[in-house]
A and B are shown apart, each in its own frame.
Chain A
Amino acid sequence: GDSVTQMEGPVTLSEEAFLTINCTYTATGYPSLFWYVQYPGEGLQLLLKATKADDKGSNKGFEATYRKETTSFHLEKGSVQVSDSAVYFCALILSYNTDKLIFGTGTRLQVFP
């Protein structure tokens, strides 16, 4: 079935370090791909998205490229801040006739000064 696999957390980094959170997917058809972020005590919010192969989504210094050949959508940021500490969820939506998001398990990022 359709699924999303994320790297286990927590990911612990020092401020200004480079971040990569891996995400791979399995899907029939051509999904749209998303990264959502959940800050402590809040609901999830969309961070970025990509709707077709080779698209790059970007927001707040984060970016991810839709790689169809490797079925991946890895999240990257060149220099993390303490305020980026949160849980990051990779997700997909199948492009036909559904609004249902399929989420990964989430990866907790902790950034220390």
Chain B
Amino acid sequence: DAGVIQSPRHEVTEMGQEVTLRCKPISGHNSLFWYRQTMMRGLELLIYFNNNVPIDDSGMPEDRFSAKMPNASFSTLKIQPSEPRDSAVYFCASTLRGNEQFFGPGTRLTVL
């Protein structure tokens, strides 16, 4: 298996633009997580899905952030409109019920 796949790996955009981050979890995994990592705030869980259903979105910072999981093999995290303070590395991770979480390589987002 190729592991968790994230795209793009790097994204540079201007303030106010819409940003969409993509994730393909490991086949057969039934939970998917979106994290954000910055120097100031460390690693934060934004949202997690189980069987494609959002279970906990308490970490989503505000209405500008939204996440979807239309099927078991794909998820998106959208920021609209983006702001410079959204600059961070965004990780996607997946797991099969209570076991090890496998992380993707991350998307480094820079908002100018």
Contact = CB atoms under 8 A, between A and B. Distances in A.
Interface of A: 32, 34, 42-46, 49, 89, 93, 95, 99-101, 103, 105-106
Nearest to B97: A99
B78 to A, nearest CB: 21
A73 B38 CA distance: 25
A63 B33 CA distance: 27
Q: Is the interface of A mostly helix, strand, loop or mixed?
A: strand
Closest 6 CB pairs of A and B: A43-B103, A99-B31, A46-B100, A44-B103, A105-B42, A43-B91
Interface stretch (B11-19, B43-51, B69-77): B43-51
B61 interface: no
Contact of A43 (B42, B98, B100, B104): B104
Nearest to B32: A99
B54 interface: no
A100 B111 CA distance: 29
A46 B50 CA distance: 20
Nearest to A102: B45
Nearest to B96: A99
Contact of B93 (A34, A43, A49, A95): A43
Given A43-B93, A89-B43, A100 B105 contact: no
Interface in B4-51: 4, 31, 33, 42-43, 45, 48, 50
A44 B91 contact: yes
Given A42-B105, A46-B101, A100 B91 contact: no
A26 B42 CA distance: 20
A110 B76 CA distance: 35
Contacts of B33: 99-100
Contacts of B4: 43
A45 B43 contact: no
Nearest to A101: B101
B95 interface: yes
